[in-house]
Amino acid sequence: MNTIENKIMDEKFKILLADSVNEEITTICDILQETYDVVVDSDMSVDVLKDNKFQIIIAHEVGNAEAGIDFLKKTLELSPESVRVLITDCSDSALLIRAINEAKIYRYIKSPYSPTELKLVLKSIKEYLLLKKENDKLLLDLKKLFTGTVSAITDALDGKNPYIFGKSRRVAFCAIKLAEYIGLSDEEVGKIDIAGLLHDIGMVGIPEKVLNKAGILSPEEKMITKQHVENGIKILEDIKQLKDILEIIKYHHEQYDGNGYPFGLKGEEIPIASRIIAVADAYDGLISNRSYRKGFSHEDAIKKLKERAGTGLDPKLVDAFVKVMDKSLDEFRAFEEELTKL
């Protein structure tokens, strides 16, 4: 509680205060202005919400609870995140139930009330809002820490092979773009991001002499590299929070026509997220240098991808990928450039 107590002192929240009669408004303003940034909406037009964000919206309606409830209801659409407070002398329970259910009020203060009471209610609302904010920040911070660390480690692993440095990040980048383009949810896109970073983690088990071989791999060496999928599964399978990510990584070398490995799944049996990673991975493989050839240009890589549509890759996703890379090529080039600086 202590850290929150301190933040309550520091942060100046914005309050929108409405009253159609403007009765007592000056008194309330005086009380609140010590701690809050207060804007008065005397015509109750909600227009001010179009250009301003308020954490707290108060309707003060003595003698006219209905007007207050209607006003708070109107604010819902423009400012759903705000906390709504109704101050009124009314205790008609039908009206109060409307205020709760329709105007989604968070707190009701019965008039007459003391300044201390008003301050206490607002302090507790602030505590609630700060907790919510802290929740969001925590999530974001820890997500950054997680992806940052995973990126750093996979970069280091990618660096073991002179031909794949930055691969995990590039694949994640392209897979995210494709996933967003076809309209997957933010949550799905987030999973694809991490799966993109971790899809080749199993390469850590492949001997360097195979990873770094100058020249085309022998059939036996190819068999060895294929084990990276099963290695990856072994590495990550005990982490229960990565279950969804593991499901994506498991199938990233399955092929649309069923000729992939290790399970030989076909078409839509392969999870869509894995099919997305497969397209991004294939593109990255094409544009990257190899010991036996220089990387293809973007145009040639796209041509080659199209040739694989329907055999190795999901044709609809190849289609979408061509479109999305058309729009995102400059951004991708800038991202690649950034990676070379690492």
Asked if residue 116 binds its own copies (CB under 8 A), the reply is yes
Answer for which of 139, 216, 223, 329 binds its own copies (CB under 8 A) is: 139
Question: How many residues bind to its own copies according to rule CB under 8 A?
Answer: 55
- Tell me the window of 50-58, 133-141, 267-275, 305-313 that interacts with its own copies (CB under 8 A): 133-141
128 binds its own copies (CB under 8 A): yes
First to last CA, the chain: 41
11 binds its own copies (CB under 8 A): no
Among 29, 236, 322, 339, binds its own copies (CB under 8 A): 236
Query: How does DSSP assign 298-327, residue by residue?
Result: HHHHHHHHHHHBTTTB-HHHHHHHHHHHHH
Q: Is 201 in the site for its own copies (CB under 8 A)?
A: yes
At residue 102, the 3 state secondary structure works out as coil
In angstroms, rounded to a whole number, what is the distance separating the alpha carbons of residues 227 and 50? Answer: 57
124 binds its own copies (CB under 8 A): yes
Give me the torsion for CA of 115, 116, 117, 120, rounded to 10°: 120
* Residue partners of 92: CB distance under 8 A and separation at least 6: 65
Residue 41: strand pairing partners = 18
Q: Which of 115, 162, 264, 267 binds its own copies (CB under 8 A)?
A: 115
Residue 185 vs 311, nearer CB to its own copies: 185
Q: Which is nearer to its own copies, 245 or 317 (CB)?
A: 245
- Residue 159 Cα to chain centre, angstroms: 28
Show the beta-strand stretches assigned E in the chain: 14-18, 37-41, 56-60, 83-88, 107-110
Is 153 a binding residue for its own copies by CB under 8 A? The answer is yes
Contact pattern for its own copies over residues 271 through 310, marking x by CB under 8 A = ----------------------------------------
SS3 of residue 68 by DSSP = helix
Count of all residues that appear for the chain in the document: 342
Residue 247, interface with its own copies (CB under 8 A)? no
By CB under 8 A, name the binding residues for its own copies. 91, 93, 96-97, 100, 105-108, 110, 113-117, 120-121, 124, 127-128, 131-132, 134-135, 138-139, 141-146, 148-150, 152-153, 155-157, 159-160, 201, 204-205, 207-209, 231, 235-236, 238-239, 241-242
